[in-house]
Structure formats: structure tokens, C-alpha cells
Amino acid sequence: MPEGDTVFRTCARLHEALAGRVLRTAELRWPGLSTATLTGSAVSEVVPRGKHILIHLDSGWTLHSHLKMEGQWRIERTPPDGHHHDHRRGATAHPADARAVLVTDAWTAVGLRLGRLDLVRTTDEHTLVGHLGPDILDPAFDEAVAVANLAASDTAIGAALLDQRNLAGIGTLWASESLFLERTNPWSSGLPPAQLSRVVARARRLMTAALPHAVQASTGVRRDGENTYVHARSGRPCRRCGTTIRVAPIGPPTRERTMFYCPACQGGLAPTDDGAPVAPLGASPGSRGRRPRERR
């Protein structure tokens, strides 16, 4: 699932393409939204809220989307006639998995495989994102509130970081990397505020540094396979101590997520890890290196 920095970049591209432009046509291919009329509205701004994308219109409406696991927004130049034609069929050529098509004079934004799409009055936007904690990439990010939320959580720190109600934007990659770099066991709880503050500050620094880049990296190296310390490296040696990196589920039942960690650097084997030998990810079908499915 795209994390906050990826969503931030997506919003920046959408804002650059759409802000200040009038929608010539708009198709919302989503149950309950297909008859909505947005044509003639101008896009005021596109802003992120954690992992959520908010397209504000001057007509007082907000188009909200969430990418979930497979979604993306693609930006294309609008042809002179305003239509993307499939010359073989003479039909508008937008993929079958397009869920939203927003056309302006210059640019067309196509939402593909979106996990969620909503249209609400901007005054009611809180019904969609009001439950979120402070956005870790917001310039006005309130670290004190985020730390207080984490301290009040009754779950392990790894699961608490992934709970968007505590702070918004962190996913499994940045949670795994931040906890490793701070030598914190993801399954620990009751951590002192000073340690929670260090973990949050580390995550914010890593994600902020990642904003200008398409490839996420915590190591400073963006080459494939060298860009992280623990995330997606189960079965491989720890870059710090050489111990085999492991992966295990974290979080309450039915809401488990994956967490990568080094048992030597981070205080021992996870309670959800059976300790069996683990092969590198993708080593072979059915190997212990397979990653548990991420859920949201």
C-alpha cells in the first residue's frame, strides 16, 4: 500500500496539473457517483491527508480517493478535441479499471484501480478523514499529539505506528525502518515518551527525505535491494550485525500487517514469529521467505 510520501508526491503532481483549471468533463465510475456532475467546476487544490487524496473544487465539493493496495492516479495530456480515442474501436480509450477521469483543457487525470472514491461537501470532509491523527508530513505536524496518541495506545509500538488514528502516513516500510534505526522492538509496549519521540522524529526525517524521489530509501542508496535496512529483506543478513532479518505479522487479529526486523538489534524474536528458518523473499515458492499478506 502506498505510504504517505508516495501519496504526497501524487497530490503534488495532481495539483500541478489540475489546480486552477476547469473540468471540461468528469467521469466517476463508482457506485453511487456515476451521475454526479462536476463539469464546469474548477479544481482549487489537491492536498494529502496521510494516505488520503483530497481534490477540492470551487463548487464546494471534495473528491476523496484512497489508493489502497493497487490504486494510482495517472496524468496525461488532453488531446485537442478533448477525447482520448481508441482508433481501432472509435471509443474513448480509458482502461476498464479507470474509476475516475477528470479532463481539463491541458491535462487529464485518470484514477486507476482506486480502493475508495467519495464525493462530499467540503464542509463534511471530516466524515472521511476526521478520525486521522496528525499527518506526519504536514508542515504543521504536531509531534506532541502524535507521541501522546502512541503512548495511550494499548498495542505494540509497531502496530500503533501503523494505526492511522495515532498519526497518519506511516506504513510498514517506514515503521520497520524507523524502529530498526532506533533499535526498538516492534512488539514492545509501554515505551517512554522520549523514545516514542525519537521513533516519530526518525520516521518524519526519513519520509521527508524521500519526498523528492520515486524510489523510497532509508539507507541513502536507491539501487534495488540496497535501499532499505530491514524492509523486504527477510532471510538476508542485517546490514548492522549480520543476523538474519526476519518478518512476522503484527497487530490485532484480522488486521495484521507485516513487520520486518532484526532480532539481534531489536531485542529478540517476535512473539508472532515461530523461529523457523527463513529464506530470502522470493527465493522459492512455498519457502519461509514469503511475506504475510498486508491488510488494512
pLDDT digits (tens, 9 = 90+) for 223-272: 998 999 999 999 999 999 999 999 999 998 888 999 999 999 999 999 99
Q: What percent of the chain has pLDDT over 70?
A: 91
Going across the sheet that includes 72-77, the strands are 25-28, 98-103, 107-112, 72-77
- Check if 51 is active-site: yes
| Residue 12: domain span | 4-129
Whether residue 152 sits in one domain with residue 100: no
Query: Closest Cα to residue 41, out of 89, 102, 101, 94?
Result: 102
Are the C-beta atoms of residues 222 and 244 closer than 8 Å to each other? no
For residue 291, name the pLDDT band (cuts at 50, 70, 90).
very low
| pLDDT exceeds cutoff 90 at 293 | no
SS3 84: coil
Strands (E), the chain: 25-28, 43-49, 52-57, 61-66, 72-77, 85-86, 91-92, 98-103, 107-112, 116-121, 246-250, 257-261
Query: Closest Cα to residue 156, out of 280, 92, 249, 75?
Result: 249
- Check if 68 is active-site: no
Whether residue 190 sits in one domain with residue 111: no
Whether residue 10 sits in one domain with residue 120: yes
* Domain's final residue, options 59, 94, 129: 129
pLDDT, tens digit (0-9, with 9 covering 90-100), for 123-176? 999 999 999 999 999 999 999 999 999 999 999 999 999 999 999 999 999 999
Task: Give the type of residue at 217.
Answer: A
Q: Which residue has the cell 521513533?
A: 199
In a domain, 271, yes or no: no
Q: Residue 285 has what pLDDT?
A: 40
Given 51, 198, 233, 246, the catalytic residue: 51
Q: Residue 182 has what pLDDT?
A: 98
Q: Residue 1 has what pLDDT?
A: 76
Given 2, 134, 249, 263, the catalytic residue: 2
Given 3, 27, 125, 177, the catalytic residue: 3
Q: Residue 95 has what pLDDT?
A: 85
pLDDT, tens digit (0-9, with 9 covering 90-100), for 12-35? 999 999 999 999 999 999 999 999
Given 49, 233, 257, 263, the catalytic residue: 257
